[in-house]
Amino acid sequence: MPDTLPVLVVEDDAALREALADTLEISGYSAITAADAETALAWLEKGNPGLVLTDVQMPGMDGHALLRALKARRPELPVILMTAYGQIERAVQAIREGAADYLPKPFEPDLLLATVARYFRQAGEPPSSGIVAEDPASRALLELARRVAASEATILLTGESGVGKEVYARYIHQHSVRQKGPFIAVNCAAIPENLLESVLFGHEKGSFTGASASQPGKFEQANGGILLLDEISELPLNLQAKLLRVLQEREVERVGGRSSVPLDVRIIAATNRDLAAWVAEGKFREDLFYRLNVFPLQIPPLRKRPADIAPLARHFLRHSEAVVGRGGFSLSDAALRELTGYAWPGNIRELGNVIQRAMILAADSVIGADHLMLPKSPAKAVAVASPENALPGDLGLKDVERETILGTLKRMDGSRRRTAEALDMSERTLRHKLKQYREAGFLDGDDLL
């Protein structure tokens, strides 16, 4: 793993504190520990972590109070709470107050590492934010992104799931005049609908049950920088109206508030949907669509930029060394042929998962075609099979997506939670797709847990 900021672990139990630090360090992170919130805040006066992992139940200042103090001082800093099972309700409240996520105790090391990886802020990221652009289509898109980054235009990033929309958003931030300001990303599909309004716009103390303190929303946290609204199509219609007003007036009113907070925020929206079609179907406001679609950037799927596949695979070989626990891997010629001849319905996200799995399966440092475990059908040989890069036979991309999801669901013994984690999608999105498959006759209700 490249040089990184440390993870700040705040835990009063000495044995658990040491175990957490050991787990993180074995996986390639550096860890700084504090026995209480006061010590953590003192360290933050001079230190800069990539993430804070804190217990809730601590003597003196507890984890919730520490969260509020951190968000007041460093609103962009990701904070993950560790909480006992009986305190889940308070943990949900913490999400309202700005926590990135929470881990219910006891939890497995794999869950800890997956959660930390999801929110950790890297130090010294390369200017391209990890973008691999060898294919001519990727190079043209990257140049276009660099040019629009220099403006203040609102950007709408579109493309299939897994093509790297957030990576491009970070690239734009790093090449904009706001690069020293915060970059705040919020997934509109991953946050429960009853929490979404306060997460985006903030709330005042006493505005709803459990609102024990005022909390700025993601818009305020992004002041002076860029706010990425990922999966914007999943925003409920009532919140679309409020979002439109915020974009027009350049000010936000917190839930329960009586005054407006001025904003200086650049917006990047992202979606894997055809928003114009959703407007026609009445699922998305037309006025909001035109407000967001000032400068559209469509990211092509991986099958339409085959020259990126091999360099991306080598990138993931290096990137996954810390997770796998060994390095020095290379790809055989047969493995490269398999990779470049596959459709990649899950795009770059799927490629990363395949490479990491192959590294685990390989007995030595050379990865062969058999280690990739790619499906033999229906997603073979589309990157180079035809000028249109169409899927073979009568199967379209949605068919491949359905087979991938249902196949993963079967491997996970019908567990929606584990299936969502394996596919790196929100449970809300998975539930929506499974509902469609059930209505179409592809899935029985008994198949779900």
Give residue 444's pLDDT.
63
Whether residue 159 is contained in a domain is answered as: yes
Verify that 150 and 222 share a domain, yes or no: yes
Give residue 390's pLDDT.
38
Verify that 48 and 171 share a domain, yes or no: no
**Cα angle for residues 135, 141, 145 (degrees, 5° grid):** 140
Give residue 379's pLDDT.
42
Residue 11 belongs to domain with CATH number = 3.40.50.2300
Verify that 292 and 183 share a domain, yes or no: yes
Verify that 270 and 199 share a domain, yes or no: yes
Cβ–Cβ < 8 Å for 353, 421: no
Whether residue 405 is contained in a domain is answered as: yes
CA distance 113 to 182: 24
Verify that 402 and 347 share a domain, yes or no: no
Verify that 167 and 232 share a domain, yes or no: yes
CA distance 20 to 295: 44
Our measurement of the distance from residue 258's CA atom to the centroid of its chain's CA atoms, rounded to an integer in Å, reads: 33
CA distance 203 to 93: 12
Cβ–Cβ < 8 Å for 28, 122: no
Verify that 405 and 353 share a domain, yes or no: no
Whether residue 223 is contained in a domain is answered as: yes
Cβ–Cβ < 8 Å for 438, 400: no
Residue after which a domain boundary falls, among 233, 267, 298? 298
Please report the DSSP string for 411-435 in residue order: HTTT-HHHHHHHHT--HHHHHHHHH
Verify that 345 and 222 share a domain, yes or no: no
Give residue 208's pLDDT.
75
Residue 402 belongs to domain with CATH number = 1.10.10
Whether residue 389 is contained in a domain is answered as: no
How many distinct structural domains can be found in the chain? 4
Verify that 287 and 151 share a domain, yes or no: yes
Verify that 312 and 293 share a domain, yes or no: no
Give residue 93's pLDDT.
66
In three state form, how does the secondary structure of 298-325 look? ECCCHHHCHHHHHHHHHHHHHHCHHHHC
Type of residue found at 4: T
Give residue 322's pLDDT.
74
Phi-psi map region of 393: left, alpha, beta (phi>0 left; psi -120 to 50 alpha): left
Verify that 209 and 281 share a domain, yes or no: yes
Give residue 397's pLDDT.
52
Q: Domain range holding 14?
A: 7-119
Residue 353 belongs to domain with CATH number = 1.10.8.60
Q: Does a cis peptide bond (omega within 30 degrees of 0) precede residue 106?
A: yes
Residue with tokens 């700040």: 8
**Cα angle for residues 67, 107, 234 (degrees, 5° grid):** 65
From first to last of its 449 residues, what are the pLDDT tens digits of the chain? Answer: 434 689 999 999 999 999 999 999 888 788 999 999 999 999 988 888 889 999 988 988 998 899 988 887 777 788 999 887 555 556 666 666 777 778 888 888 888 888 887 777 654 333 334 578 888 889 889 889 988 998 999 999 999 998 999 999 999 998 899 988 999 999 998 888 778 888 899 888 877 776 778 788 899 999 999 999 999 999 999 999 999 999 999 999 888 888 889 999 999 999 999 999 999 999 999 999 999 999 999 999 999 999 999 999 988 888 788 778 888 889 999 999 999 999 999 999 899 999 999 999 998 999 999 999 988 644 443 433 333 333 333 344 566 677 778 878 877 778 888 787 777 677 777 888 887 777 777 776 555 55
Helix axis angle, 193-201 relative to 237-249, nearest 10°? 10
Whether residue 381 is contained in a domain is answered as: no
Residue after which a domain boundary falls, among 92, 119, 146? 119
Verify that 159 and 284 share a domain, yes or no: yes
Residue after which a domain boundary falls, among 119, 150, 177? 119
Looking at 116-182, which runs of residues are DSSP E strands?
155-158
Residues near 328 by Cβ (< 8 Å), separated by ≥ 6? 365
CA distance 190 to 39: 33
CA distance readout (Å), 378 to 201, 307, 398: 44, 21, 12
Cβ–Cβ < 8 Å for 236, 195: no
Residue 159 belongs to domain with CATH number = 3.40.50.300
Pairing of strands 251-253, 260-262: antiparallel
Our measurement of the distance from residue 141's CA atom to the centroid of its chain's CA atoms, rounded to an integer in Å, reads: 21
Whether residue 391 is contained in a domain is answered as: no
CA distance 70 to 11: 16
Whether residue 287 is contained in a domain is answered as: yes
Q: Which two tokens stand for residue 244?
A: 């439109």
Whether residue 378 is contained in a domain is answered as: no
